[in-house]
Amino acid sequence: MRHSWSRRTLQSVTLSLAAFGAGLAATAETAPLPAAPDYTGIELPLRPGERVVPTAGGDCSVIVFAPHEERFERFAAYWRTAQWNGYCRFGLAHGAGTITGVEGNWSAETSMVYGLEVNPAESITTETGQDGAISWDPALDTLNFFSGTAFSDLKSKRYVIRLEKEPPGDLDLGDMVSDWYGQDYLEKHTFDENGREKTISVSVWNVETFCGLGLPDEYRSFEKEVKRSCKKTADKLVLLRREGFEADPWSDRPITWLKSCPVNKARNMNDCGKLVKEALGKEADELDKFLAEGDAAARAAARQEIIDRYAPLEAAIEEPLLVGDFE
């Protein structure tokens, strides 16, 4: 998957596309959604929680996994502003194509399978060499790893890693965070039994503003760690974990873990990377495996699940499939 946009619009586009994963508030106007096209006589083989959403063009739709209304509204707000330029099958975006903003100021090339975007537009994983190691594409700044046999499943999980600059070497969970700055973060997305999307986020925060001025209530239970950081001569950094629902603003999700980043005295620099595995806890091994091996098998299984569901529908109609390669 390749993206095409100017450097000037990169930040705004990334935020728009990443709204699915990062829980950003939708900025689109809350106009009523147009009705999804009605394909008389065709009953789409939707999984529980899947919903049909029209694109901005209105002549083609997508499928979103929205077991809870708040997730549906987030996706629907995005597709109000996005058009699909590509083939439609049974009224659904299908095959290789381009998603473009209604104002034409951004575009993203991707691949859809019966309305489901198998390659999230805001992320990429690539492989280099025969060892299958994950590499970084400096044109993008987000890696998204998927776990599960179906994209539309409450048991599926996604890890999102955002870096603002290219790491100096292979992505490794043990030292990756040492290079974090600005808007870098790590997230895990899951669903609860009611279909609400949950998020665990790990990020580095400079608490220098609070040193000597008193702490906001959300930091009260970690007062000793903040004071420890304030005594250091390097940046006053802490590594913290927030947990909450994706629909809630990031700052409203409570801090559930926080530690002061140690300082490398020889270099007078913080070393937050040593804390990331501790912050993740039991999740660290799973993400470590993704970084080493990728998620190709899980994505292939999820893609095949979609194709298998639509196979009976393909066999029941006379119209031939015009596009054969959807990679």
Residues 232 and 278 in one domain: yes
- CA–CA dist 94, 41 (Å, integer): 20
Residues 248 and 159 in one domain: yes
Residues 57 and 142 in one domain: no
Give tens-digit pLDDT for 157-201.
999 888 777 666 667 776 667 667 667 888 999 999 999 999 999
Residues 177 and 280 in one domain: yes
Element (H, E) at 278: helix 276-280
Residues 146 and 220 in one domain: yes
For the cut 60, the answer to whether the pLDDT of residue 234 exceeds it is: yes
Residues 137 and 83 in one domain: no
Residues 51 and 95 in one domain: yes
For the cut 80, the answer to whether the pLDDT of residue 140 exceeds it is: no
Look at residue 14 and give its three-state secondary structure.
helix
Residues 118 and 26 in one domain: yes
Residues 283 and 214 in one domain: yes
Residue 295 pLDDT class (50, 70, 90 cuts):
confident
**In this structure, are residues 237 and 272 in contact, taking their beta carbons and an 8 Å threshold?**
yes
The tokens for 187 are 């997230």
Residues 103 and 186 in one domain: no
Closest by CA to 96, choosing from 112, 114, 82, is 112
Give tens-digit pLDDT for 105-137.
788 888 899 999 886 544 444 444 455 555 555
Residue 66 pLDDT class (50, 70, 90 cuts):
very high
Q: What is the pLDDT of residue 1?
A: 31
Domains held by the chain: number: 2
Q: What is the pLDDT of residue 139?
A: 52
Residues 93 and 227 in one domain: no
| Residue ranges making up the domain that contains 143 | 126-294
Residues 205 and 312 in one domain: no
- CA–CA dist 66, 138 (Å, integer): 31
Give tens-digit pLDDT for 77-86.
999 999 999 9
